[in-house]
Structure 1
């Protein structure tokens, strides 16, 4: 009879479910879980803060299309994971938090870090469960995986009392769950698909809006086939790359015009939330259809006419087949030409800034030089109000799930840990974290994690010495106010120098591209501290 601990069972179940990397901030009662995971050949990435570890795990999971795993200690460590759970659930990114808690038999007596942790997790997670028996560990972890990644992905929390992990059971009584069910993706209703096909083929000004649900469902080929019939499209920030941004029918640079003038709109895998002005910018008589895996998404501020419950990829495949069988799309060259002209006008309006030689450096120049310096398949994370807004106007993405931003919640502090997780998910890809100085500060010590694990991401800090540069400080506070929204233009590059990485301070715009080349070639975690204009503003609201 061989006895096995709960901690060992947990690690073995992670391994058989294909997990090779987990994220954590080491602490009790989960230390033995981490030791057992390491014994099973799993990388244990010990980060510097639980929020960063969980954000990194969610990025790793989103890119790999499986749940990212974060192991949290008890009490404050677990509560630090609530924000990432909220962000992951709202942004539809699969995340499983394995949280340690006070041992059973001591509750109510003042046990160390005693807390009803499941109550903290409930508002932020898709599913929450306390493990009540060591025998149940493999089964509950199996359930957690299924709930995190199926339907709309999101966060799941499993609570592990310390005694459940230290208790031992007979290994002959335990069955690891190695096989997942074969689940065909939800199929669309044929009649509804015909209605959408008719809506698009009879429209004068059709538009497709691509959300990140399309990226999750690998709908790139099907959507490209649909768009190639002659339908303009725009994409949500993390929906970009499902169809390459340089496709001729990408009207992202004329987003406002496209949304306000379209007479037929198909939303695929996205929400009519604040990202799309709650659907209220559309024409009052526009026909709206939506394909989503969740039926409740069809009830929003937008006046949706047709809602189709389906996986985006299977839904678009069915739509293509139907449109091939009916009259061809009434391709409106005038609509396409008008949008293309507006794209050209908007791009021209910022062109001068993209080649500016001013010092401090123009933000548009910085983003344009990054765009021109990285590979086509680079993964880009963006964080910080002004930085993210200008990146949306300048920085393209050509592959699905290769663009990560603040997401539905607009959470700052995600950019650096997302880059860390992304590089571990795709070590062969360039990973560039484009961060404002305030956003970098939210997770700055993870540069040590990157150095310790040799995770060679390139961090580019747009150092404009403030939150949204100095616009908030100058607009909202009196002239004699202390620096509340303004920051010091400090030498952030010293932080990466401190951990043995590659770093430069860039003040001359002509040095941006050479510095990026050197950073990419270094093979180390790198940081370029680019001194940008603290008085500059963006054109428009982050979209053209």
Structure 2
């Protein structure tokens, strides 16, 4: 078979993953990777700063549900991308960062931009390694994608030194991994599903808070069905926004505190008890409602406040289990009175915003800006909310109608 270089091997591996775009800032250590991408029909999107390239890769993941790929040059190219990859680690979002380095053969000889970036990035990635041999590039790419997409998603990093990028091998020495990932879903422990169902049978005022797991697990349909089945108000956060259309009668936005104060059971779906819930303080849960928390990441369950039942698993699978068990046990909802009470309060709070929404002050009030945007945005608009106060105003006013159409800074708070 013919010889093939590291750049082409890399691009072939990306092609097998269905990658359409890579986001980058040009650098000499990684030039062969671009040539390989062009030869394989992968579009190279060039930016003016590596941080932007990393954020773009995470943004691609957030709006498509597929890992985004960023390529940066050695040394400062990698360090410039750290904020983007740290944000993906906190989010969490599946992305792949590729970084260059001086040649392995020149290690510790003072090569240009020689830097142990693989060790440097281990604390903020799920996987971070250096590729040491040309023929193993596709194998390493497959490992990086597997780590980025398995279980709780997150970023993976590959350092590919310049003599590996530009190295050549006979293609018969190359193994292209095939079936190396599974789409199998993580179902909840049946005993814990029964505990959830037992609580719901004895609940009069349920309330649901749903977050990013709903998006990553493609569980929007299951969430809507569950909300309607138990006649619960639902409040969405983070990547969960848009999982239920803005005109759904059970969806609230400003009445969350009212619901938390008066509910007897709160169901947290992909929603950690972090600063956005007052770290679980009693002031947020004054009636001490029963807490059910369902998370992909079991380490987040019970963070900051004791819970009654914690279920680890895929939100789509777990919600389906809960609904099947509710039907099997003859569940009947408490009726629509409670959800109507919460949504009535929600609407009253929205009415109180009318003065700000129609303000004529100069400079313009941020709420007026949001109102004008709300009135002209398409039903399928994707909204990116920057950090600070403006994202709060946007979340308060703008309507998000589809999954994956809302991006905000998340826990890391990138501005």
Deviates more, 1:319-328 or 1:396-405: 319-328
Q: Residue in 1 aligned with 2:92?
A: 92
Mapping of 1:205-220 within 5 angstroms?
205-220=205-220
Cα drift, residue 242 of structure 1? 0.9
Per the alignment, in what secondary structure is the counterpart of residue 99 of structure 1? strand
Per-residue Cα deviation, 1:301-336 (whole angstroms, up to 9, x for no partner): 021221112110010011111112224344254432
Tell me if 1:341 matches 2:381.
Answer: no
Cα drift, residue 131 of structure 1? 0.8
Structure 1: how far apart are the matches of 2:271 and 2:278? 13
Q: Residue in 2 aligned with 1:375?
A: 378
Per the alignment, in what secondary structure is the counterpart of residue 358 of structure 1? coil
Cα drift, residue 409 of structure 1? 0.8
CA 1:411–1:20: 2 relative to 1, 3 Å:
same
Cα drift, residue 397 of structure 1? 0.7
Task: Answer whether contact 1:205 1:332 (CA < 8 A) is retained.
Answer: no
Task: Answer whether contact 1:254 1:342 (CA < 8 A) is retained.
Answer: yes
Q: Residue in 2 aligned with 1:357?
A: 360
Q: Residue in 1 aligned with 2:11?
A: 11
Cα drift, residue 36 of structure 1? 1.3
Per the alignment, in what secondary structure is the counterpart of residue 29 of structure 1? helix
Task: Answer whether contact 1:208 1:265 (CA < 8 A) is retained.
Answer: yes
Structure 1: how far apart are the matches of 2:247 and 2:66? 29
Structure 2: how far apart are the matches of 1:189 and 1:368? 45
**TM-score, normalization by structure 2:** 0.96
Structure 2: how far apart are the matches of 1:345 and 1:167? 66
Task: Answer whether contact 1:214 1:268 (CA < 8 A) is retained.
Answer: yes
Q: Residue in 1 aligned with 2:101?
A: 101
Choose the corresponding residue for 2:296, options 293, 303, 327.
293
Structure 2: how far apart are the matches of 1:175 and 1:333? 59
Count, aligned residues: 412
Cα drift, residue 360 of structure 1? 2.1
Task: Answer whether contact 2:223 2:319 (CA < 8 A) is retained.
Answer: yes
Per the alignment, in what secondary structure is the counterpart of residue 100 of structure 1? strand
Task: Answer whether contact 1:263 1:283 (CA < 8 A) is retained.
Answer: no
Per-residue Cα deviation, 1:225-267 (whole angstroms, up to 9, x for no partner): 1111201111113211111122111122111222233221111
Per the alignment, in what secondary structure is the counterpart of residue 383 of structure 1? coil
Mapping of 1:94-493 within 5 angstroms?
94-229=94-229, 230-280=231-281, 281-283=284-286, 285-331=288-334, 333-412=336-415
Per the alignment, in what secondary structure is the counterpart of residue 228 of structure 1? helix
Q: Residue in 2 aligned with 1:30?
A: 30
Structure 2: how far apart are the matches of 1:305 and 1:135? 51
Task: Answer whether contact 1:201 1:327 (CA < 8 A) is retained.
Answer: no
Structure 2: how far apart are the matches of 1:69 and 1:183? 20
Structure 2: how far apart are the matches of 1:343 and 1:320? 27
Per the alignment, in what secondary structure is the counterpart of residue 307 of structure 2? coil
What are structure 2's unaligned runs of at least 5 residues?
A: none
Task: Answer whether contact 2:261 2:287 (CA < 8 A) is retained.
Answer: no
Structure 1: how far apart are the matches of 2:276 and 2:169? 50
**TM-score, normalization by structure 1:** 0.73
Task: Answer whether contact 2:387 2:408 (CA < 8 A) is retained.
Answer: no
Task: Answer whether contact 1:216 1:401 (CA < 8 A) is retained.
Answer: no
Cα drift, residue 180 of structure 1? 4.1
Task: Answer whether contact 1:222 1:313 (CA < 8 A) is retained.
Answer: yes
Structure 2: how far apart are the matches of 1:259 and 1:252? 13
Structure 1: how far apart are the matches of 2:337 and 2:19? 51
Task: Answer whether contact 2:98 2:157 (CA < 8 A) is retained.
Answer: yes
Task: Answer whether contact 1:222 1:316 (CA < 8 A) is retained.
Answer: yes
